[in-house]
Amino acid sequence: MLVATSSEGKMREIRDALAPLGLELLSLTDIGWTAEIAESGSTFEANALIKATAVAEATAMAALADDSGLEVDVLDGQPGVNSSRFAGPEADDMDRNRILVERLVATGEPPPWAAQYRCVLAYVEPEREPVTFEGVLRGAIVPEARGCGGFGYDPHFLLPERGVTVGEIPLASKQEISHRGQALRRFLLWHKARAAEAARSE
């Protein structure tokens, strides 16, 4: 199965979560994909479908794609679908986190700032209707980075009930609660159920 991402961090999480399927999961990097896929949708679902459809049509293989990001309450849900791009095309995780915190401080609201991670997975097979799966993780943004695990906004994303950021917990714990982990588990259950149904009908 192809996964429409070049992100090593996402691939680690997806391979770990979908290991029970026993499938070889290939990233865009693995297949030498260099074409730009314009994420022109206004929602996470639209962008996930754009990516999965483009890869499935180009390769005639099943493709899984996710679009995910951070929605901060005091910023009216921003950066949202622009989470990986709002700081500019050349920005890295450190730049994005710094600019996000600067914007939040400028609101005058005291930290921590309520927020959520949202993920939508899209699965596309040639000549089949696409399906989508969603996951949401509520939390808050803190001004100081804590922990070096995960990627993206994880070191600033506080889990209030645990008193730690996502950057301070191991991958296995992140998979249990994360927005992407939730969506992947829903996909995993759907895929297993479909395989079981196909086996019964043979």
Instruction: Give the catalytic positions in this structure.
Output: 67
Amino acid at 99: I
Q: With contact defined as beta carbons under 8 Å apart, do 161 and 173 qualify?
A: no
Kindly give the interhelix angle for 179-201 and 8-17, rounded to the nearest 10 degrees: 50
SS3 assignment, position 42:
coil
Strands (E), 93-191: 113-124, 131-141, 157-159, 164-165
Closest C-alpha to 4, from 52, 38, 37, 60: 52
